[in-house]
Structure 1
Amino acid sequence: MNAETLKKPWWQRASEGAMAACLAVMATAVFVNVVLRYGFGSGVAASEELSRLLFVWMVFIGAAAAYPLGEHMAFTSLLLPLRNKPRAMLAMTLLIRAAVLLACVLVGWGAWQQVVVGLGSHSVVLGYSSALLPLPAFLCSLAIGLMALVELLRRAPLDFGHHVDVE
């Protein structure tokens, strides 16, 4: 490990490792399936299902890991005129955090309903519970919602992550 890797928090290293593992298994499964289909005329039926499941998990792990780093899309240039107005900036920050929290509640509620529905069925080839597909959306919305709630309660300022006037 290099010095930059050691500086990262444990959750960031864990999420990057989980995403890398998902990507490695997906790439291997798809590569093997392609070679078997075009080279030998038959493939592995589980490859497609496994790749789909791992892709969904990888996307939501990445979304949850990106939130505390401020890497989600933001239109911070709309708030730049408020930088010198602390009360207006605080009001907009609280509004943004509340909107993120509301979005997490809505996504989490819908994902949880899909988890419950999926408990009674299984995937066709691998036989895993269909609840495993919407579960990462629920966990992601829970994680981002908790982070947004903590930021809301602490009244943490928005991190623009740069010092330029226009994005």
Structure 2
Amino acid sequence: MSPSTPTRVSRFQRITQLLMATCLGVMALAVFVNVVLRYGFGSGIAASEELSRLLFVWMVFIGATAAYPAGEHMAFTSLVGLLKHRRVPMLAMSALIRLLVILACALMGWGAWQQVIVGLNSHSVVLGYPTALLPLPAFLCAVAIGLTACVELLRMQPLDLGHSAEVE
């Protein structure tokens, strides 16, 4: 593969960065316009707060989804340190940590999905969007990270902490 050919990960990172930048830009513009209208003209845009909240939630979970394959999430360094003292092979450590990630994703996804179902029948006060759009990014994030961890587990990839952090 030539250096000019982007990999799937870099394309994925660029797309997620673009989505997060779009969310942040729209949020900043909405809040700025609302502040100017409120303090300058005594009126405001009611939808600004609701839109900003929705975009912030989506931006956070898009970022969390993008951070996992890049190795930018917090690492279980204390668990790795504990297992190193017991002379557990690195492959077994990697499998255990990925199983814990998959379990955490399953729990988060299950809870988020329950909230999506509850939100299908209710709508936001000002904009009128289904409130299921608030927990939906948490569900999608849990699914994406869980699937990524499953693929890494099945490929038996050794754990890459992404840094040379000291074990606490």
CA distance in 2, matches of 1:77, 1:129: 41
Determine the structure 1 residue equivalent to 2:51.
50
Determine the structure 2 residue equivalent to 1:29.
30
CA distance in 2, matches of 1:63, 1:119: 24
CA distance in 1, matches of 2:41, 2:21: 29
Determine the structure 1 residue equivalent to 2:160.
159
Is the CA contact (8 Å cut-off) linking 2:76 and 2:97 kept in structure 1? no
Q: 1:165 to 1:121 in 2, by over 3 A?
A: closer
CA distance in 1, matches of 2:164, 2:141: 30
Determine the structure 1 residue equivalent to 2:84.
82
Q: 1:166 to 1:103 in 2, by over 3 A?
A: closer
Q: 1:40 to 1:164 in 2, by over 3 A?
A: closer
Is the CA contact (8 Å cut-off) linking 1:60 and 1:137 kept in structure 2? yes
Calculate the TM-score normalised by the size of structure 2.
Answer: 0.88
Deviation at 1:161, TM superposition (A): 2.4
Aligned AA for 2:27? M
Q: Which moved more, 1:123-132 or 1:87-96?
A: 87-96
Q: Which moved more, 1:74-83 or 1:22-31?
A: 74-83
Q: Deviations over 1:36-83 (max 9, x none)?
A: 111111110000000000000000000000000110011436535839
CA distance in 2, matches of 1:162, 1:151: 18
**Which contiguous aligned blocks of 4+ residues in structure 1 show a shift greater than 4 angstroms?**
163-167
CA distance in 1, matches of 2:21, 2:124: 24
Taking only aligned residues, the RMSD between alpha carbons, in angstroms, comes to: 2.3
Determine the structure 2 residue equivalent to 1:121.
122
Three-state SS of the structure 2 residue aligned to 1:9 is: helix
Is the CA contact (8 Å cut-off) linking 2:67 and 2:73 kept in structure 1? yes
Determine the structure 1 residue equivalent to 2:136.
135
Aligned AA for 1:33? N
Is the CA contact (8 Å cut-off) linking 2:75 and 2:161 kept in structure 1? no
CA distance in 2, matches of 1:56, 1:20: 13
CA distance in 1, matches of 2:130, 2:165: 48
Residue 93 (structure 2) pairs with residue 100 (structure 1) = no
Calculate the TM-score normalised by the size of structure 1.
Answer: 0.88
Q: Gaps spanning 5+ residues in structure 1: where?
A: none
Q: Gaps spanning 5+ residues in structure 2: where?
A: none
Q: 1:88 to 1:138 in 2, by over 3 A?
A: same
CA distance in 2, matches of 1:162, 1:53: 33
Determine the structure 2 residue equivalent to 1:111.
112
